[in-house]
Structure 1
Amino acid sequence: RGIRIVALSLPLADARDVAQWLGCNTNATFNFHPSVRPLPLELHIQGFNISHAPSRLAAMTKPIYNSILRYAGTKPAVVFVPSRRHSRLLAADLLALAAAAGRPGRFLHARSDLVQPFLTKLQDKMLKETVSAGVAYLHEGVESNDRRVVQQLVECGAIQVCVVAAELAFAFAAHAHTVIVADTHVYNGKLHCYEQYPITTILQMLGRACRPLEDDHSVAVLMCAAHHKSFFTKLLNDCLPLETTRPHERGNCNEDHREQTGRGRLFDVDLPLPTSDT
C-alpha cells in the first residue's frame, strides 16, 4: 500500500495522538525533541519590561551590541528586526557604538582592497557605507543583486554582522554562528496594532544559527517583552501539543466538504479522510 500522507510538523507533545488520527502505526511515526539539532544550540532569552514596542526596541540596541561581542566574538552574527526602517537604524547604531568604543572597523574581517570590488556592485549608497565597515542590512526594498552580494560577504566571513528585516526570514539563506531576534512584534498597518511573529517565523530565524562544518555549537539570543519570556522559554525548550482549528461540529465539517466539492477543489467524494468522525 502506497504512502498517502506525509505529515511534517514541529516537535509535538501529542505526536502519538496525531499519528493515530492520521492512521500511522508506530513504525511510521517519528518525533524528536527540540534539542535534537545538527549543532548544540545555546539559547538565551532576555525580557524587557517596556510595554511600548518602539521604546522597547530602542532599548535593545546596546544589549544587541554587547551580545554580538560576548557570544559571536569574531564569528558571523545575524540580527532580525521587525521592519526595514529598523534594519537601517540598527546597522548605523552598531557602527556608532563600535566607533565610540574606539574600534570602528571591528566588524570588518577582510582587507579593504579585497572588499572594494564587491562595494562597486552595490547600488544602495547607505548599504555601501555600512558594508565597508563590516555591517550590512537587508530588507525587501534592497535590490536582488545587492542581496546576493551581501550574502556572499556574510558567508565568506568578510563582514561579521548582517541586520535582516523579519519580512526576509524565509528568504535569507546565509547561516551564522550567532542569531539575535530583536523583539517579536511587528506593526500591522491594516489593523493599526502590533502583532507577534508567527511561531514558524521565530523558529526559522533561530534556525539560521547553524554552521555544522565550521562551529562546534551555535548561539541564539531572543529579546522580547518581559511578560512573554516564560512563553518563549516553554516554546523553545519543550514540545507543544497540536490543536486543531477546524470546527468540531459534525455538520460544519460536512458542510465544508460539500463547499469544497462545489468549488471544484475536490473531485472524488471518497478521497478526503473522514474528518467528521474525528
Structure 2
Amino acid sequence: MARLDISAHVWRIFSVYCRYFNAVQSETFELAYHTTKNMVVAAPTGSGKTGILELAIIGLLSKQLDVNNQLQLKHGAQKVLYIAPSKALIQERVKDWGSKFGSVGLMCMEISGDTDESQLAGVNAADIICTTPEKFIALVLIDEVHLLNEDRGAVLEAGVVSRIRLISKAPEMREMPIGKVRFVAVSATIPNIWDIGEWLQVPPDGLKSFGEEMRPVKLTTIVKGYNETKTDFLFEKRLNDHIFGVVKEYSKGKPTLIFCSSRKGTSDTAMHLLGQCQKISGGSSPSPYVRTAQQFERLKNAATQTNNKQLQQCLCAGIGFHHAAMDPQERLLIEQLFINTDVLVLCTTSTLAVGVNLPAHLVVLKGTRRWTSDNKEGSGYKEYDRSTCLQMVGRAGRPQFDTEGVAVIMTQKKVACQYNNLVRGAEVVESQLHDYLAEYLNAELSLRTLKDISMAIDWLKSTFLYIRVSHCSASASDEVFTRVLREKFILTTVSELSKYNLVSLAEDGFGLEPQLAGDFMARHYLRFHTMVSICKSPQHASMPDLLSVIATSVECASIKLRRSEKKV
C-alpha cells in the first residue's frame, strides 16, 4: 500500500487517521484525485470506499491552492453534496468530516427532515452538504448507490441525480459549477455496475469493480435457511433454538454481534442465551463467555450501574443487549464493555449497524424480517432493506480491529438464495422509479423544468429506469423504443395526472401545464394516490371524511396510536 502523490497541504487530512492508502484506494487514486471524471466504484464493505470519496473532495480542494500552495477558500462557492441512505450515516459522516476537513477550513453541514428553516440559513456558506436523498454543486458523492434497488432509490434517481443533470443542461447553467458537475458513486459489489456507469455518464476508465479478494479483512458469509413457521413471530422464536450453537461454532471466543428485529427481541435473545449458558455450565462457572476472574469482577461492577434486572443478570454472564429505547448512559456502558471485550456477546437492533462503530469477529443476523408500517402493502413484516443488511454484515471483521470476520445470516429457506446472491454481489440493481413516476413527473412539471411531452421524454432518458428498460429492449429500433417511452410511460402517466386536474395537456397534445392541485401535491410531497383521495373528496366534506382521507394515506401509515392515546 502506498502514500501516493498528494499535496502536503491536504495530506494532513489523511495522515491523522492513516499513514498509507490500501489497495482499493491506491488503484482509484489517480482518477479520484487527479481528474474530474465521473466514477463508479464497487467494492466489498470495509474496503475503504469512504476514502475514495475523500480523495475526490481533496481533488476539488486542490484546485483552490494558490502559487504558494495555500488554500484560497470562498465558502460555499463550490459545494460538495454527499448522499447516503440513512440519517445515521449522514450524522456519522458530518462528525467525521467536520473534524477532518474543518482542519483546513471547510464547513460541513447536515440536512435532513429534522433540519428547521433557521438552520437552513447556513446552506449558502456550507462547503460540504451531507443529506439523505429526500433533500442540493460541483461534486456529488453517492454512498451505497445500490440503494437504487430499494423504494427510497426513486428519490436518489429522479429527485436528485436526474434533476441535477436536467438543470446542468440548461444554457444559463453551462458556465456555473453545476454545468460541469461531477458524480462519484461507491457501492457494494454488484453485477451491473456498467448500467450505473452509463446512467452517470462515467467513462470506461472511471468504472472500478473489486471482488472480496481486495477486502482488507477476509470475510466469510454463511447463509442458513430454516423451515417457515405459521407466523414471523414464531419463526423468530424458533431461531432462539439455534442461536447458541451458531455463536459457539463461529465466534472462536471473540466478540459477537447478534442483530435482532425488535427491541424486545434483543433482551429475549440475551435471556435465552443466558439460560443456555446456565444449562451448559451447570452452575460451575458464570458463563462460557467469562474467561477470567478479573473479567467477572468488572462485569459484576458494571451490573450495579443499571437498574434493568434482565441486563444485570446477562452482564454477569458476559452477555449484553442494546437498543435505542435504553437510557443513554446504559447504552454507553454496554458499548464500552463490548469494546473492552468484557461483554463478548451483544444482542442489538439494526440501528447499531450505522453510527456506533463496534468491533466484532462474528455478526449474526437473527432473522431477516422486521415489523414495519412503512410498506406499500400496508403494515406488517418485510425483509430488511439491502443496504441495511449489507451494513450489518459489514460490521464483521473491521480492518482496525480484526484480521478476519464471519457473518451468519439466519433466514427462511425460501429467501436464502436471495441473500446468497446479495452477499456474493450477484443481485442485479434495478430501478424502482416506475412505482413513483406520477409523483416525480408532476414534481418536474410543478418546478417548470418540463414544459412539453418531448422534454418529459428527455427527462425520462436521464433516469436509471431508462437504462434498464433500454437494455431489456435492445432489439427494438430507436423509433419504436421512443414511441414506447412516450405512450407507455409518459402519456399514460400524464393521462392519470390530468384525470384529476393535477396537470393539463394542451389541445395540440404536446404542451404540459401544472395545475394548482399538482403544485400542492409537489410542494407537500404527497403520494399520487393520497392526492387522488383528496381530489375525490366532496366540496363540503365532513370532518370524519377528511380525517378518513388523512388516516388512510400512505404518508400516515407509520403512525400508530398507543393504547393510552386511544382514550384521549
TM range (shorter): 0.7 to 0.9
Task: Determine if the alignment matches structure 1 residue 226 to structure 2 residue 441.
Answer: no
- 1:142 aligns with one of 323, 326, 331: 326
Question: Higher helix share goes to which structure?
Answer: 2
Q: Structure 2 matches for 1:82-121, cutoff 5 A?
A: 82-102=261-281, 103-109=285-291, 111=294, 112-121=296-305
Distance 1:233 1:119, change over 3 A: same
Which residue, 328, 338, 350 being the options, matches 1:166? Answer: 350
Deviation at 1:258, TM superposition (A): 2.7
Q: Deviations over 1:58-79 (max 9, x none)?
A: 2211321011111112101110
State the AA in 2 paired with 1:258.
L
- What CA deviation, in whole Å up to 9, does each residue of 1:155-189 have, x standing for no partner? 11111100002343324420200011011111235
- Of 117-126 and 229-238, deviating more is 117-126
Q: How many angstroms apart in 1 are the aligned matches of 2:301 and 2:277?
A: 24
Distance in 2 (CA, whole Å) between partners of 1:182 and 1:275 is 43
Find the counterpart in structure 1 of residue 540 from structure 2. Answer: none
Aligned residues: 267
The answer for the alignment partner of 1:27 in structure 2 is 205
- Choose the corresponding residue for 2:383, options 181, 196, 209: 196
Q: Matched residues in 2 for 1:250 and 1:86: separation?
A: 38
Q: Which residue of structure 2 aligns with residue 80 of structure 1?
A: 259
Secondary structure of the corresponding residue to residue 397 of structure 2: coil
Query: Which piece of structure 1 moves more, 219-228 or 190-199?
Result: 190-199
Shift of 1:213: 4.6
State the Cα deviation string for residues 83-123 of structure 1 (Å, max 9, x = none). 11111111011011011011542212452333344334334
Which secondary structure state, in structure 1, belongs to the residue aligned with residue 210 of structure 2?
coil
Structural RMSD (CA): 2.7
Correspondence for 1:186: 370
One-letter identity of the residue aligned with 2:410: M
* Distance verdict in 2 for CA 1:214–1:5, change over 3 Å: closer
Aligned-partner SS, 2:392: helix
Unaligned runs of 5+ in 2: 1-35, 37-137, 140-181, 450-457, 463-568
SS in 2 for 1:88: helix
The percentage of aligned residue pairs carrying the same residue is: 22
SS at match of 1:30: strand
Instruction: Give the equivalent residue in structure 2 for 1:70.
Output: 249
Highest RCO, 1 vs 2 (Cα 8 Å, sep ≥ 6): 1
CA distance in 1 between counterparts of 2:326 and 2:437 reads: 49
| Closer, same or farther: CA 248–119 of 1 in aligned 2, 3 Å | closer
3-state SS of paired residue (1:87): helix
Q: 1:270: which partner in 2?
A: none
Q: Which moved more, 1:216-225 or 1:116-125?
A: 116-125
Per the alignment, in what secondary structure is the counterpart of residue 208 of structure 2?
Answer: coil
Quick one: distance in 2 between partners of 1:275 and 1:132? Answer: 61
Distance 1:23 1:156, change over 3 A: same
Change (3 A) 1:248 1:128: closer
Q: Distance in 2 between matches of 1:157 and 1:250?
A: 50
Distance in 2 (CA, whole Å) between partners of 1:84 and 1:245 is 30
| TM-fit CA distance, 1:43 | 1.4
Match of 1:13 in 2: 191
**2:430 aligned to which of 230, 243, 251:** 243
Quote the offset at 1:132 in angstroms: 1.9
